[in-house]
Amino acid sequence: MGRAYNFSAGPAALPEPVIQQAREELPDWRGAGASVLELSHRGPEFMDVAAQAEADLRSLLAIPADHAVLFLTGGATTQQALIALNFADQGQPADYVVTGHWGRIAVEQVEPVMPVNVAADNAADGCVDIPPASQWRLSENAAYLHYTDNETIHGVEFPELPPAGGAPLIGDFSSNIGSRPLDFSRLGMVYAGAQKNLGPSGISLAVIRPDLLERSGQPRAPMFDYRAHARAGSMLNTPPTFNWYLAGLVFKWMLAEGGVAEFERRSARKAALLYSAIDGSGGFYVNRVAPAVRSRMNVPFFLHDKALEPRFLEQAAAAGLIGLKGHRALGGIRASIYNAMPEAGVRALVEFMGAFRDRYG
Ligand code: PMP
């Protein structure tokens, strides 16, 4: 089999031209006499890679010049742990709106160091809807309001930025960053692991508004201090150079394809194709998420007969459609259709789903 259509939730499919380019320039990176993996992060070649990646990301996401852009290790989960230490005074609470698995993990990451106020939680309804903002129980003196813009496992996505109360809004955009424009005037911090929409695993992104960066927060090691990372240009220690380089290639590819507005259009088309195949299947395939908050990136669904799922996955793989197994927390099937998934891949999946239903329905 050549390259399949890969619906994995993350690490996820990378754009084919990026894989090709990385392969071509791997042994001797632009005449350096060594691969990009082997160059010092402080040498001129890599400094250039890093600066170019940051410039491209700033232009791609229209990040205001005064915001810090950090390339960090530790994944999105580490950022979830660090936000309390960096942005809340000791004893100060923060508000969390939980709309699925990752929102709950974000709470767990800070519970040991701060009083957490879960302002809303959709667990009672099975994580299939977003409680209206009018029902959120916000605290008076919250350090920030944290939410998950797209829940990767449950397939629940905010259709637009939630209203922030007095506290700065911190959004986990791990699984939908770069799929629509972001309004930084309404966000205190945006973070994301790269391994879905921006590049490989092993590197994550944090964009932080200057007033948040200036907060004193709680006693912490320099390694846990965003300000220290910002001052050091994300090179407080050895950064994941290859991952940074690869993410940079993805940023260039996204710009060349037409940028975030184009990916927003593509995402809308791909998601509509897949959800209409599910909804039009006469109950053979089921997605229970409220239509207004269905994710454009991660589409979880179930077969009416659970016993058919292994056969579905096996036959899909044989047809060149891989990575469709649902997360272990939820089971079922999940198709992740990030920026690197072409519409042709979604069409191939929809066609396969139709044929499978004809065979077993
Ligand atoms: N938040 C969201 C929305 C995610 O999808 C994930 C990973 N699937 C995480 C956080 C955790 O990311 P990481 O594995 O990079 O720590």
| pLDDT tens figures, 88-143 | 999 999 999 999 999 999 999 999 999 999 999 999 989 999 999 999 999 999 99
For residue 317, being part of any structural domain is answered with yes
336 and 194 in a single domain? The answer is: no
CA atoms within 13 A on the CB side of 155: 29
Residues 117 and 131 in one domain: yes
Instruction: Transcribe 98-164 into DSSP letters.
Output: E-SHHHHHHHHHHTTTS-EEEEEE-GGGTS-S---GGG----TT-S-EEEESEETTTTEE-SSPPPP
6 in Cβ contact with 333 (< 8 Å): no
Query: Ligand 1 mean position to 102 CA, how many Å?
Result: 7
Q: How many domains does the chain have?
A: 2
Same domain, 236 and 274: no
CATH number for the domain harbouring residue 325: 3.90.1150.10
Q: Quick check: is 3 in a domain?
A: no
The answer to whether residue 4 sits within a structural domain is no
Compute the distance between CA of residue 167 and CA of residue 173 in angstroms, rounded to an integer: 18
User: Do both 227 and 356 map to the same domain?
Assistant: no
Say yes or no: 166 and 71 in one domain: yes
Last residue in a domain, options 238, 256, 274: 256
Task: Give residue 188's pLDDT.
Answer: 98
At residue 1, the pLDDT reads 62
- Where on the phi/psi map is residue 297: left (φ > 0), alpha (ψ -120 to 50), or beta? alpha
Q: Which of 29, 102, 136, 253 is catalytic?
A: 102
Contacts of 321 (CB under 8 A, 6+ apart): 4, 5, 7, 345, 348, 349, 352
Examine residue 39 and state whether it is found in any structural domain, yes or no.
yes
Q: What is the pLDDT along the chain (361 residues), one digit of tens a residue?
A: 689 999 999 999 999 999 999 999 999 999 999 999 999 999 999 999 999 999 999 999 999 999 999 999 999 999 999 999 999 999 999 999 999 999 999 999 999 999 999 999 999 989 999 999 999 999 999 999 999 999 999 999 999 999 877 899 999 999 999 999 999 999 999 999 999 999 999 999 999 999 999 999 999 999 999 999 999 999 999 999 999 999 999 999 999 999 999 999 999 999 999 999 999 999 999 999 999 999 999 999 999 999 999 999 999 999 999 999 999 988 999 999 999 999 999 999 999 999 999 999 8
Pocket test for ligand 1, best of 72, 77, 149 (most atoms within 8 A of CB): 77
Q: Is 172 a catalytic residue?
A: yes
191 lines ligand 1 (CB under 6 A): no
Q: What is the pLDDT of residue 326?
A: 96
Structural domain including 208 reads 16-256
157: Cβ below 6 Å to ligand 1? no
Residue from 56, 196, 252, 253 carrying the catalytic annotation: 196
Same domain membership, residue 223 and residue 171 = yes
Is 274 found in the same domain as 165?
A: no
287, 216: one domain: no
Ligand 1 atom with the smallest distance to the CA of 193 is 15
Confirm or reject: Cβ of 102 under 6 Å from ligand 1.
yes
Distance from the CA of 174 to the center of ligand 1, in angstroms?
A: 6
- The finding on whether 73 has its CB within 6 A of some atom of ligand 1 is no
Give domain status of residue 1, yes or no. Answer: no
In a domain, 131, yes or no: yes
CA distance 278 to 95: 35
Residue 7 lies in a domain: no
Whether 8 is in a domain gets the answer no
Task: Pick left, alpha or beta for residue 31 (phi over 0 → left; psi -120 to 50 → alpha; otherwise beta).
Answer: left
